[in-house]
Amino acid sequence: MSLRFLTAGESHGKGLVVIVEGLPAGLPITADAVNADLARRMMGYGRGARMKIEKDRIEWLSGIRAGETLGSPVAMVIHNRDWTNWEEVMAAEGTPGEVRRRRLNRPRPGHADLVGVLKYDRQDARDILERASARETAARVAAGALARRFLEQFGVDVGSHVVSLGGLAVAPVALDALPRPLNPAADRSEVRVLDPAAEAGMIARIDRAKQEGDTLGGECEVVIRGLPVGLGSHVHWDRKLDGRLAGALMSIPAVKAVEIGLGFEAARRPGSQVHDPIVAEATPGRPAPAPALKGGFGRQGNNAGGLEGGVTTGEPVVLRVGMKPISTLMSPLPTVDLRTGGPARAQSERSDITAVPAMGVIAEAVSMLVLADAMLEKFGGDSLGETRRNLDGYLARLSQRWTEFQARPAGAEAE
């Protein structure tokens, strides 16, 4: 792994800490750039009261000087403003009588509460939920913002939009018809959809779910443009980029499904209607258009979602992520009380009605972390300039390969 990160922090603890290791030196970065992504994660119609309390911002702890990375681990902290309301409940030290208030004894179906108390042998499910909370994703978005900055240096754009919420889907939009860049258009909508008619329906659906004490899931699409052909590898399972992306996306709380390109639909069609024909995008003997991200080749269509054999094709990477509804219901489902073993209704904690719009922002972040890792794996470099030279050298070779077509003797294709 070339780029790695670790997060720490409980939802109602003092704050979230994240360490990102492996970025080259010389990457220009500001706290404002990171905070912009954190602010996007807090948006979304249907979020709970917590988002009114927090104003997520990072404080640099290490790894940055004069607005640039040093090549050393970058550490950041996001302070929880809500901490002042939880200092006693979440105190690191003190007797159980002093600290163990606001226990969670009635585990919520769908949450980590029950499996966590059994696995970690805890009595109070708060010991589990505090870390299982999607609050942790703020730290991942901060790490992802550094990866975004890194990818931007090489012209890579990463955006997302919501394609369904509460069972209501937007009208499908062809990849070529999506706005570029995607995020400013999606972020204008309270539910991060591009279709105003669908937006009104989704907002009404969220209002109804709120009245009914229910929650809603949905799907987001992440689109990544500007990656060169050749990231990832076909040679071993854990180097396949599709698997790495899917694993990272599946690790987002409440995510239950990931599709790449045509996804499940590809399983239902014959091969002739799935695979993207290969075409020449450049003229033999002339250099491939710079930057030669696809080496002179192109695809008719992008059912593969920009990945073949676990390797980028140079076409946009298209990922779809499905999130189940939040498991804290204000009209709770049946459960078992951890104190008595008797039947009960699950505990209700303050939560969101839906977090699908935020999930898209988080999906961008984790995708960017995987892609920045894949870029550094292929091109390496202790400084940004070194990474750039290595990438430029690779692209020059791709371009040269293309011009070599002309140099082949007639009939060479018969060999």
| Residues at the contact surface with ligand EPS, assessed by CB under 6 A | 11, 48, 50, 82, 133-135, 137-138, 326, 349-352, 355
In the complex, the smallest distance separating the C-beta of residue 339 from ligand EPS, rounded to whole angstroms, is: 22
In the complex, the smallest distance separating the C-beta of residue 365 from ligand EPS, rounded to whole angstroms, is: 13
Q: How far apart are CA 145 and CA 34, in angstroms?
A: 5
In the complex, the smallest distance separating the C-beta of residue 44 from ligand EPS, rounded to whole angstroms, is: 10
Instruction: Output 85 or 300, the one with its CB closest to ligand EPS.
Output: 85
Q: By three-state DSSP, how is residue 30 classified?
A: coil
Q: By three-state DSSP, how is residue 339 classified?
A: coil
Q: Quick check: 162 and 207 in contact, CB under 8 A?
A: no
CA 402 to chain centre: 35
Instruction: Output 49 or 200, the one with its CB closest to ligand EPS.
Output: 49
Instruction: Output 124 or 276, the one with its CB closest to ligand EPS.
Output: 124
Written as six digits, the tokens of 356 are 């699908």
CA 283 to chain centre: 37
In the complex, the smallest distance separating the C-beta of residue 48 from ligand EPS, rounded to whole angstroms, is: 4
Instruction: Output 191 or 355, the one with its CB closest to ligand EPS.
Output: 355
Q: Quick check: 92 and 321 in contact, CB under 8 A?
A: no
In the complex, the smallest distance separating the C-beta of residue 138 from ligand EPS, rounded to whole angstroms, is: 6
In the complex, the smallest distance separating the C-beta of residue 329 from ligand EPS, rounded to whole angstroms, is: 11
Q: DSSP assignment, residue 230? A: T
Residues β-bridged to residue 25: 383
Residue 125: other Cβ atoms inside 10 A? 23
Q: DSSP assignment, residue 266? A: G
Q: By three-state DSSP, how is residue 298 classified?
A: strand
Residue 297: other Cβ atoms inside 10 A? 18
